[in-house]
Amino acid sequence: MGEEAILEADLVEAPSSVATREFNLVLGATVALSLVFLFLSAVFGDAFIEFMNTEDEGVGVRVPVWERYNMPYEVDGDFGIALETGPYEIMPTDNEWNSTHYFVEYELPLSEGGAAPDGLISLAVWRPIVEEGVLVPVIAEIGPYFQEPSVQTPTIEVPGAWLGQMIIDQILPHGFAFAQISVSGTGRSNHCMDLMGNAEQLGNDAAVRWLGEQSWSNGAVALIGKSYDGSTPWQAAMFGSEHDYLKTIVPISGLIGVKELMWRNGSSEARAPIMHNGVYGSYGLDGDEEDYQNLCPDYIVGPATGVGAWAWGGEAAGSYWSERYFLDRVLDNYQGSVYLIQGMHDWNVDPHMAVPTMNMLIDAGIEAKGLFGQWDHDYPDRPVQLDDRSELGGRGGEAFPQMVRYDWMQDLLEWFDYYLRDVGEQPGQWIEIQSNQGSWRLEDRYPPEDVSVLSMALGTELTTSGGTTVLPDASTGPVWQSEPLNETIYIAGTPRLHVDVTTATLGGQLYALLEECSIDNECIHVGHAIMDLRYHAGGDEVQTWAPVVETINAKMEFFPLDAEIESGNFLQVSLLSTGEDYLPASTSSVVFIQEGATSTLQLDTFDPTERRYFEPPSCQHERCIQAGA
C-alpha cells in the first residue's frame, strides 16, 4: 500500500498490551476530510452516506477498513451481513430451493482409469431475475461435500448451510449467480474420488469454462470456499485459460498442495498416511453399479504414498505429490486476482498455506489481498464457532472477540463487484493481520520485510537447567528461558530455531514449542515448529551425515505467527521429539543439542508505532459480551 493510503488512515493504533492501546492521530489534509466525513455521518446518518453515493450510480456504500468501526453493521448476529440490500430477486425454478441441476461433460485421459474418457461433473445454479439482455457473473464453490450423507447435504440443489445460503441471500441480489459443484467421484459427479489429482483438476476447469460460456453469464467467474473447497480454487487457477473466465479466487484455509498440508520440514502429520482413502475414500461409494469407477490408479496407490513418504521421505511417492502441488502453476499461468483468507490458529490447514504464499503472489504480479485472523479452521464472521474453537493459553482465545469480522460479507461484495463487474474502486491490496492479543493492522507484505531480527543464542541469552538431550519417546526434553523482557516485542512471520545437534543414529526428529511466560510461570503458546532431521538443511532433499561424530545444524522454521510478547514476561523454548498432531519419526533417534553461537532462536520484530492499526466493527453478539467485548 502506497504513501497515499498511509495518509488516509485517520487512526493509528500502537498497542502496548491487550488491555492498553494508544491511538496516534495522523495529521494532514486527508485526515481532516475523514474527520469531516465522520462528523457529518454521525449528524446526518444514512442520508449523508446516500448523498455521497449518488454521484457514482450503481456503487453502494464504500468505506475504507479503518473507518468501518463507525458504520451500521449488524454486529449481534451469528454471521456478517452486507451493508447493502441488492435490488434483484432469485429466479424461481421447479424445486423449493430455486436451483437448476446440470451435468458438464469433459474428457478424461485414458490413463486416469475409472470413467475415462467420459467425465461428468454435477453442478447446481442459482440465478437472479435481471432485465432482459443483462448478463451476470458467477460465484461458485467446488468441493466434495455436496450430496454426501456424511455432511448432511441431501442433494446438490440444496444450498450449503456453511456458505452457499449466505451468498444466495446477500450477494446474489446484487446481480450475481451462484453455483455449487461436486468434484469428481463425489455427489453425482462420476469417476473416482481423486483427492485433488489430475482428474479432479480437469473437472474443475471444465465447470469453470461451462459457467463462463452460458448465454446468461457475462463470462466472469469467481471461486470461493473453505478447506477442501478452498483448495479447488487454486486448482482451477492453474489453467490460466485462454478464455480467461476465472477472474478471482477466494481461498479460505485452502491447500496450495497436498503434501505441503501434511508434511512440514519432512515431518508427517498423523493423518498423512491415510488422507486419500482413509479420510475421503468413502466419498462417492454408495453401493451402486458405478462404484467400480473408483478403481483409479491414484485411488489404489493413495495409501501407499502416505506411508512411503513417512518411512522413506516425500520423494518416495514420485509424481503423486507433484501432480497435487498447485502454487507453481498458479504463479506461472493465472491472470486473475486472489483474496486469501487464513486462520493463524488453524489446526486443520496450517497457516504456512498462506504465508509466504501471499508474498509470492505479489511478486508474481497477481493482484492480491489477505485477511489473516487468529481464528481456527473457520470463516471470519462466525462468533459462535470462533468462540467455541478459540482457547485461552495462546490458542486464539486472547484475540476473541476482536477476531470477529462482521464486515466480511460487505468486503466480499465489494471484491466481487470490482473483479467480476468492474464496479467501484479497486479494493485495497494489503494484508489485514491480527496479532495473538487481538489487535488488527495493515501490512503491504506478509511476512513483512521491514523487520529487525532479534537473535537469542542457546547457552547465553537463552539458558537451561534441564540438560540438552531429546529422547525419542517424547517423554522429556530440554527447556531454555530468556531473562524477563525490558520492553514489549512484536513478532511477525516465521521465527527460526537453528540448532547444532548430533544424533545416535541416522535420523531423529525435533519439535520446538515457543511460549510466553510470566514471572509466576504461567505460560501461553506462541508458536511451534517440527523437523525430521533427514531434512535438517531445509527444503525437500534428504540429507546424510555420520551419526555420533558429525554435528549438523537443524534449520527449523516455525509455523507462521503474529505475537505481542509483553514487557516483564520471558520467552521459553522447549524441545521434544514430537508434538501437536505429528507422528514420531520413522527413523527415531536420541538427539543431543549443542549450545553456542550457531544455535539460535531468531525472531523478526517490528516497531508498532510505524504500523497502521485499525478497529473492526465491534462484536455485540452475546458470546462477545460474555467474553468482555
Backbone angles phi, psi at 457, to 5 degrees: -90, 140
Residue 456 resides in a domain: yes
Give the pLDDT score at 34: 41
State residue 286's pLDDT score. Answer: 60
Adjacent-strand bridge partners of 323: none
Domain's final residue, options 335, 351, 381: 335
Burial of 553 (0-12, 13-18, 19+ CB in 10 A): middle
Last residue of a domain, one of 292, 318, 335: 335
The stretch 90-102 carries a mean pLDDT of 97
> Is 552 inside any structural domain?
yes
With beta carbons less than 8 A apart as the criterion, state whether 345 and 560 touch: no
Given 335, 357, 387, the domain boundary residue is: 335
- Structural domain boundaries enclosing 588: 452-605
331, 470: one domain: no
Q: What mean pLDDT is predicted for residues 388-412? A: 97
> What ranges make up the beta strands (E) of 304-410?
337-343, 368-373
CB 114 within 8 A of CB 191: yes
pLDDT at residue 270, as a whole number: 85
In this prediction, residues 364-377 reach a mean pLDDT of: 98
Do the domain assignments include residue 511? yes
What does the CA dihedral 170, 174, 176, 180 come to, rounded to 10 degrees?
10
441 Cβ contact list (under 8 Å, min separation 6): 13, 432, 433, 435, 608, 611, 612, 613, 614
In a domain, 553, yes or no: yes
Q: What is the pLDDT of residue 18?
A: 36
Band of residue 402 on the pLDDT scale cut at 50, 70, 90: very high
pLDDT-derived band of residue 304, with 50, 70 and 90 as boundaries?
confident
Does residue 543 fall inside a structural domain?
yes
Into how many domains does the chain fold?
Answer: 2
Cβ(324)–Cβ(278) under 8 Å? no
DSSP secondary structure, 221-282, as one string: EEEEEEGGGGTHHHHHHTS--TT--EEEEEEES--SBHHHHHEETTEEBTTGGGIIIIIHTT
Answer whether residue 211 shows pLDDT above 70.
yes
pLDDT at residue 289 in the model: 56
Indicate which CATH number applies to the domain containing 117: 3.40.50
Mean pLDDT of the region 432-440: 98
Residue 277's pLDDT is 58
Q: Quickly tell me which residue has 482465545 as its cell.
A: 397
pLDDT, mean of residues 131-146 = 96
Arithmetic mean of pLDDT over the chain:
88
Q: What percent of the chain is modeled with pLDDT above 90? A: 72
Residue 396: per-residue pLDDT: 97
Task: Tell me the CATH number at 531.
Answer: 2.60.120.260
The predicted structure's pLDDT at residue 17: 38
Give percent of the chain with pLDDT exceeding 70: 86
Amino acid 319: pLDDT: 84
Strand-pair category, 217-226 with 246-252: parallel
Task: Give me the pLDDT at residue 193, please.
Answer: 86
Query: What's the pLDDT tens digit per position in 548-565?
Result: 999 999 999 999 999 999
- 387-390 contacts at long range (C-beta below 8 A, 24 or more positions apart): 387/623, 387/624, 387/627, 390/345
pLDDT tens for 526-538 read 999 999 999 999 8
